[in-house]
Chain A
Amino acid sequence: MSRVSIQTTDFDLSAEVAALRAGDAGVGAVASFVGTVRDRNDGSSVSGMELEHYPGMTERAIEAMIDEAQRRFDIRAARVVHRVGPLRPGDQIVLVAVSSAHRGQAFQACEFLMDYLKTQAPFWKKEATPAGARWVDARVADDGALARWGIQANNA
């Protein structure tokens, strides 16, 4: 299966994890992260959002992140699904799933991929609030999260 999917449709965590470890009896651990749309952000209620991306670059950037995770951690496979287009509060946005022989490397690689994706993958969120639509600001804390892995983000 492909390692990266950018799609408007929802994803099924169970099906994704089953596919990730199918046919690999060396897998002893799967760690996954699912990001979802909140109904509040920066002091406003949020009734929905639109996710824009840079087709082509997005896939390349995430493929490169998975390559880097494979170099840094003893993992067997990784999968990233990120949705684009209109989304509502409660919807799933992003999935990162990693398989490995033991839990430690799976947990770490999953967090590494998510930290990397937050500041280096070209996605932009525009949220609908009672005061109108607004582009979401990048967070300095997300740059800090990537810095823990020794990578300078320069995003926010």
Chain B
Amino acid sequence: MKVQVRYFASLREALGPTEAVDVPAGSTLGGLRDALLARGGRHAEALARGRAVRCALDQTMSDESAVLRDGAEVAFFPPVTGG
């Protein structure tokens, strides 16, 4: 299945604003992060374990155990700093 991945702030600068990604059915947000990490290069650096990366599923803050559905909108970003 396909999900749309969006990046913000420093992750957007490193990886671009958005990309479509194919993932196996039943994948989680954490599984998607691992799959992107496994590409190496900029993805491995920007999404490295140990870096503070937050995520959202369909525009709601989520943790990495959240299960994806076909057509989902996923976002990865650094900790938020508004206000």
Considering the chains assembled together, what is the distance between the CA atoms of A63 and B83 in angstroms?
Answer: 15
Nearest chain B CB to A27 CB, angstrom units: 25
Does any Cβ of A come within 8 Å of B41's Cβ? no
Does any Cβ of B come within 8 Å of A38's Cβ? no
Check A118–B8 contact: CB distance below 8 A: no
Check A124–B83 contact: CB distance below 8 A: no
A54 touching B81 in the complex, CB below 8 Å, given contacts A124-B8, A126-B9? no
**By CB atoms of chain A within 10 A, which of B6, B10, B61 has the most?**
B61
A117 touching B9 in the complex, CB below 8 Å, given contacts A124-B77, A135-B78, A138-B52? no
Considering the chains assembled together, what is the distance between the CA atoms of A82 and B5 in angstroms?
Answer: 25
Check B79–A138 contact: CB distance below 8 A: yes
Main secondary structure of the interface of B (DSSP, over half): loop
Residues facing A in B57-83 (CB within 8 A) are 59-61, 63, 75, 77-83
Size range of the chain A interface in the assembly:
20 to 34
Does any Cβ of A come within 8 Å of B48's Cβ? no
**Closest chain B residue, CB of each to CB of A125:** B81
**Closest chain B residue, CB of each to CB of A55:** B59
Considering the chains assembled together, what is the distance between the CA atoms of A135 and B81 in angstroms?
Answer: 9
A-B contact pairs, 25 of them (CB 8 A): A51-B82, A52-B8, A52-B12, A54-B8, A54-B59, A57-B56, A57-B59, A60-B60, A94-B82, A114-B83, A120-B61, A121-B82, A121-B83, A122-B8, A122-B75, A123-B80, A123-B81, A124-B10, A125-B82, A135-B10, A135-B78, A136-B81, A137-B79, A154-B54, A155-B80
The residues of A with any CB-CB pair to B shorter than 8 Å are: 35, 51-54, 56-57, 60-61, 82, 93-94, 114, 117-126, 135-138, 154-156
Besides A117-B83, A123-B83, A124-B81, 6 other A-B contacts (C-beta < 8 A): A51-B82, A56-B59, A57-B75, A114-B83, A121-B83, A122-B8
